[in-house]
Structures are given as structure tokens and as C-alpha cells.
């Protein structure tokens, strides 16, 4: 316990004693809230744009920046979900189910106010749980090796396939497409070149940041332009009547339930906050005495979803820090930041870079507290930001994305790849495939192949020995059950 407070105090001092660190903290906080709230961009856009420049900062400031925009961005995405039915990120999608109908009813202030408070409560609770739970999980993680990591990847993929796409099969095809993208370049075990079509720039595969920029930022611009062509981008009227304390008190059980669901769902690699938000919302519907009101503007729907997705932010750091497996697109970018600074996330990070880990923890803790205060302010000001026409924002986003994509490897090919990924992402979104699933396929595919080969070599190519390791058995069984249940539901109910 003494170590806990010592680490907490040291990290707090490191962040708030240096003017540059304070500036980075505030920039991440405001950047995440603004990018999360502006239609057409999201925290992932900001993170993707900032990623190439993270090498210019110290490892402490770079990681803190990403941790802070993760917290503030997840909250920021709720604003567009509520006001425009445009979730800033997949994890804000359930927020739109009831938030947007509330806006249409003229209750936008209540919905956004609830999102502010619940994001702060859920995120802070998650940060505290993360500080307490990460070390024990890390100790356990030291005993794990490639077979366990592959089993975890299998479980993550099993869950990831059921979120975001119109049907389970399209979810699976999205994940598998992402895995195919990850296969291009140098094969991870023998070092052979694979699927490079004679283009030497592809020997190292596609850059993840370039793909992220294409799949999220560029495809979103294509999507917004299509909406603009159809005239679907009308801003609804907004009033700012916040919910009362009595209204919140009635929802205390929903908040507590969503914190627990969000935290444990967030630990799962591969899906994190998105699954948490959907589970939080689904459980709210399941436990409600008036489930028929959900989807028509029920405050509890907004509260459950926003508490759960913010509760998952801290939990999503656990697989990243303890095993080195990112839980989502933003944690995948944080993985890249670690590598840029020559740090390998995993059990040893607590021994080699303990101060860095605590800076991430403490930054997320204070970011969630700051959301509570800044969120109220943002609610009153964001309306004015939303008046900037999207066609004027699009060139700014494009220029930043072009420079960001080129800056990764000084390769013009990457800029083309970014636009091509944007087009593919746009077409797949129009056909109801899942972009988050593709991105997670890219990340988990690379890790999956490497650990599968290493694992089979460790076990002397014995599949039985691979599967019967205790942790592997549990994870394979859980993954298999998840797949069987989702297949059963998908086959029983028409897609």
C-alpha cells in the first residue's frame, strides 16, 4: 500500500511539476474532447495524426498524451452520438440509441449532462481499479507465454467478430480481412517476404498508422460527404437543461452495474470499450422494469452506455501493459508509441519502466476528474464548434492526415495506401462490415500468427499439449463457447 501511494505521488509530481507535461496533459484533454465532439473526426483521428510526431516527445509525455485523449475522447464521442446520431467511436454507438431520441425530444441537455457525469464517474472508478488490479494481473502474466497469448488472441477475435457488423458472418469476414492485411510483408517467424508483389516498400507490410488514418479519418470524410449530398447533416435544436441530482440518484444501480461490466469487459483484448458499452446497455435493458422505453429516449440507456465505456478505458490498459496485447484501436496506437521509444509492453514493463506505467495511470485518473469540470463547460460551448461547416473542416483533416501518413516512413506510397484504405473502408461500411473489426484483425492477426508458430514450436507441434495448458484451455473453451453461442443466435435469427 505504501508503494501504491509512493508511485501515485511520484507520478503526480512528474506530471504537474513540469510546464511542458502540464501543457501536454491539457492539450490531450482538450484535443480529445474537441476531436471526439466534432462530427467527422474522433479521438482516433487526433491520435492517428499525433502518432507520427510522438517520437519528438519524451516517452512520458507521449504516453500521457495518448492516455489522456483516450479518456477525454471516449467522453467526447458521446456528444456527437447524442446531438447528431454520429457516434464519435464504436463505443459511443449505444449512447446514440437513446441519446439521439432524447435530442429529438428537446432533452439534449439532460442527455449530454448525464454523459458528462457518468463518463467522469465510470472513468475515475476504472482508473482506481486499474491501479489496484494491474500489478496482480501483471504478476500472473509473467507466468504466461506464447500459447497463452495465442489463446487470448483467439478469445479476443471470437468476441470482436460479433460487434459492429450487421451480421456475425460479416463481422468474421471483417476480422479475417484485417488478418489478411497483416499477412503482407515479412513473415514473422522465418523472415520470408510474403505478398509484396515485387514492391520493396511492402517488405515491412502496411504501416498501422496509415491504415488507421485511411480506415477512420478518410472513410469518415467520404461518409460525411455522402450524408452532405443527401442533406442528412441538419443540426438539431439544442437546449441545455441538465439533469437533476434526484434523477441521477435514481440511476445509482445502473451506474454501479455498468462500472463492473465495463471494467471486466474492458480487460478483454480485441474489443474493450465497445463490448463494454454494448453489454452495459444490454444489461440496463435486461434489468429495467420498462424495457420497452429503451431506444425511445430513456436516460438510463445513456447513463449505462457512457458509464460502461469509460469504465473500460482503464481496464483496456491492463492487457496492453501486462501482456502487450492492445485492447482496441487507440491502445494499439499506444503500443506503437511504446515501441517508438524502444519499450516493449508486457510483464517486464513494470520492472523496467514502472514510473512510465504510473504516469499513464495517474494521467488517466486526473483526466477523468477534469472531464467532470470541463465537460460542463464543453456542453455549453461545443454547439458553437459544431456550426463550422464540415466541408471546411475536411481539407484541414485531409492535410493533417496526408502529412501524418507520409511522415511515418517518408514514403509517398503510404499516402496512396491511406486513400485506398479510406475507399475500401468506406465501401465496406456501406455494405455493413465493421471497420473496428478490420483494424483489430490487423493487430491481432500479426500477434496471432507469431504466437501460434512459437507456441507450436514450444509444445513440439503437439496440438493436444497446446490446448490442454490450463489457461489456454479456459480461454479456448471460452472462445469456442462465444463462437458457438453467437453462431446459434445468428443461425436462429435471420441477419
Partner 1 sequence: MSPAALNFIQRSFMKNISLKTWIETGLWISFALFGLYLCFDLIANSQTGFLTSEDDSAFTPATWPRMIFSMIIVVALVNLAVAWFNGENPSEERASAASEGGFIRQNAKLFGFVSVSLLYGILLAWMGFYILTPFFILAILLLSGERRWFPLVALAFGLHVFLIVLFYRVLGMTLPTGTGTFYEISASLQNFMYSIF
Under the rule (CB under 8 A), what is the footprint of partner 1? 53, 56, 167, 169-170, 172-173, 176-177, 179-180, 183, 187, 189-192, 194-195, 218, 222, 225-226, 228-230, 391-392, 394-396, 398-400, 402-403, 406-407, 410, 412-413, 415-420, 422-423, 426, 431, 445, 449, 452-453, 456-457, 461, 490-491, 494-495
Taking CA atoms, 493 is separated from 168, 458, 463, in Å, by 11, 42, 34
Number of H helices, E strands in the chain: 22, 2
Q: Tell me which residue of 155, 385, 357 sits closest to 270, measured CA to CA.
A: 155
C-alpha to C-alpha distances, 122 to 75, 90, 91, nearest whole angstrom:
10, 17, 14
CB of 390 to partner 1, least distance (A): 8
Q: Minimum distance between the CB of residue 92 and partner 1, rounded to whole angstroms?
A: 25
Cβ distance to partner 1 smaller for residue 296 or 461: 461
Q: Output the smallest distance, CB 167 to partner 1, in A.
A: 7
Question: Which residue in the block uniquely carries the three cell numbers 492539450?
Answer: 27
Shortest CB 389 distance to partner 1, Å: 9
The least CB distance from residue 257 to partner 1, in Å, is 34
Q: Max alpha carbon distance in the chain (Å)?
A: 66
Residue among 99 and 171 whose Cβ is closer to partner 1: 171
- In angstroms, what is the C-alpha Rg of the chain? 21
- The position carrying cell 469509460 is 310
Of 170 and 429, CB closest to partner 1? 170
Q: How far is the CB of 216 from partner 1 (least distance, A)?
A: 15
CA 217-218-220 angle, to 5 degrees, is 65
Distance between CA atoms of residues 143 and 347, nearest Å: 9
Shortest distance, CB of residue 190 to partner 1, whole angstroms?
Answer: 4
Q: Of 38, 487, 416, 395, give the one whose Cα is nearest residue 235.
A: 38
Q: What are phi and psi of 192, to 5 degrees?
A: -70, 150
- Nearest approach in angstroms of CB 486 to partner 1 is 12
Contacts of 35 (CB under 8 A, 6+ apart): 41, 42, 43, 45, 46, 69, 73, 76
For residues 301 and 258, is the Cβ–Cβ distance under 8 A?
no
Written as one string, the DSSP assignment of 298-352 is -HHHHHHHHHHHHHHHHHHHHHHHHTS--SSHHHHHHHHHHHHTT---STTHHHH
Question: Rounded to the nearest 5°, which phi and psi values hold at 387?
Answer: -80, -10
CB nearer to partner 1: give 7 or 174: 174
Measured from the CB atom, the residue of 134 and 161 that comes closer to partner 1 is 161
What is the phi/psi pair of residue 187, to 5°?
-65, 135
Smallest gap from residue 298 Cβ to partner 1 (A): 30
Closer Cβ to partner 1, 25 or 466, answer by number? 466
Q: Which helix (H) or strand (E) holds 185?
A: strand 185-186
Nearer Cβ to partner 1 (105/391): 391
Q: Shortest gap between Cβ of 393 and partner 1 (angstroms)? A: 10
Q: How far is the CB of 326 from partner 1 (least distance, A)?
A: 20
Contact of 62 with 51, CB cutoff 8 Å: no
**365 vs 433, beta carbon nearer partner 1:** 433
Q: Which C-beta is closer to partner 1: that of 112 or that of 452?
A: 452
* Contact partners, residue 337, CB within 8 Å, separation at least 6: 51, 54, 59, 62, 63, 66
Amino acid at each position: 500500500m505504501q508503494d501504491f501511494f509512493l508511485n501515485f505521488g511520484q507520478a503526480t509530481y512528474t506530471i504537474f511539476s513540469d510546464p511542458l507535461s502540464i501543457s501536454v496533459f491539457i492539450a490531450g484533454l482538450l484535443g480529445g474532447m474537441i476531436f471526439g465532439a466534432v462530427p467527422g473526426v474522433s479521438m482516433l483521428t487526433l491520435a492517428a495524426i499525433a502518432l507520427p510526431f510522438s517520437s519528438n516527445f519524451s516517452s512520458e509525455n507521449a504516453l500521457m498524451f495518448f492516455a489522456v485523449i483516450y479518456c477525454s475522447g471516449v467522453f467526447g464521442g458521446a456528444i456527437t452520438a447524442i446531438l447528431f446520431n454520429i457516434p464519435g467511436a464504436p463505443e459511443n454507438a449505444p449512447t446514440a440509441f437513446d441519446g439521439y431520441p432524447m435530442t429529438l425530444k428537446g432533452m439534449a441537455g439532460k442527455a449530454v449532462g448525464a454523459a458528462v457525469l457518468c463518463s467522469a464517474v465510470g472513468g475515475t472508478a476504472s482508473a482506481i481499479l486499474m491501479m489496484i488490479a494491474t500489478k496482480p494481473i501483471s504478476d500472473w502474466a509473467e507466468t504466461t507465454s506464447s500459447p497463452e497469448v495465442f489463446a487470448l488472441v483467439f478469445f479476443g477475435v471470437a468476441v470482436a467478430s460479433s460487434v459492429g457488423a450487421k451480421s456475425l458472418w460479416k463481422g468474421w469476414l471483417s476480422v479475417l480481412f484485417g488478418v489478411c492485411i497483416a499477412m503482407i510483408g515479412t513473415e514473422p517467424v522465418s523472415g520470408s517476404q510474403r505478398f509484396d508483389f515485387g514492391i520493396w516498400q511492402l517488405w515491412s507490410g502496411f504501416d498501422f498508422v496509415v491504415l488507421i488514418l485511411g480506415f477512420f479519418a478518410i472513410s469518415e470524410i467520404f461518409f460525411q460527404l455522402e450524408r452532405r449530398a443527401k442533406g442528412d447533416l441538419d443540426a438539431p435544436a439544442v437546449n441545455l437543461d441538465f439533469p437533476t441530482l434526484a434523477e441521477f440518484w435514481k440511476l445509482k444501480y445502473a451506474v454501479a452495474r455498468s462500472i463492473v461490466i465495463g471494467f471486466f469487459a474492458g480487460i478483454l483484448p480485441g474489443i474493450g470499450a465497445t463490448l463494454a458499452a454494448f453489454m452495459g446497455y444490454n444489461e440496463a435493458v435486461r434489468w429495467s422494469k420498462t424495457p420497452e422505453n429503451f431506444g425511445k429516449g430513456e436516460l438510463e440507456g445513456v447513463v449505462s452506455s457512457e458509464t460502461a465505456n469509460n469504465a473500460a478505458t482503464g481496464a483496456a490498459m491492463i492487457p496492453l501493459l501486462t501482456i502487450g496485447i492492445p485492447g482496441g484501436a487507440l491502445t494499439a496506437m499506444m503500443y506503437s508509441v511504446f515501441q517508438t521509444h524502444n519499450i516493449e509492453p508486457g510483464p517486464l514493463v513494470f520492472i523496467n519502466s514502472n514510473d512510465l506505467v504510473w504516469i499513464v495511470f495517474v494521467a488517466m485518473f486526473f483526466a477523468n476528474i477534469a472531464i467532470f469540470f470541463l465537460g460542463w463547460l464543453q456542453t455549453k460551448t461545443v454547439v458553437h464548434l459544431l456550426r463550422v461547416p464540415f466541408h471546411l473542416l475536411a481539407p484541414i483533416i485531409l492535410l493533417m492526415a496526408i502529412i501524418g501518413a507520409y511522415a511515418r516512413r517518408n514514403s509517398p506510397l503510404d499516402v496512396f495506401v491511406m486513400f485506398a484504405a479510406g475507399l475500401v473502408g468506406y465501401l465496406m461500411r456501406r455494405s455493413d462490415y465493421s471497420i473496428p473489426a478490420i483494424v483489430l484483425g490487423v493487430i491481432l492477426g500479426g500477434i496471432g500468427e507469431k504466437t501460434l508458430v512459437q507456441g507450436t514450436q514450444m509444445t513440439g507441434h503437439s496440438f493436444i499439449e497446446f490446448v490442454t495448458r490450463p489457461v489456454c484451455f479456459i480461454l479456448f473453451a471460452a472462445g469456442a463457447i462465444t463462437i458457438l453461442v453467437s453462431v446459434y443466435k445468428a443461425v436462429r435469427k435471420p441477419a
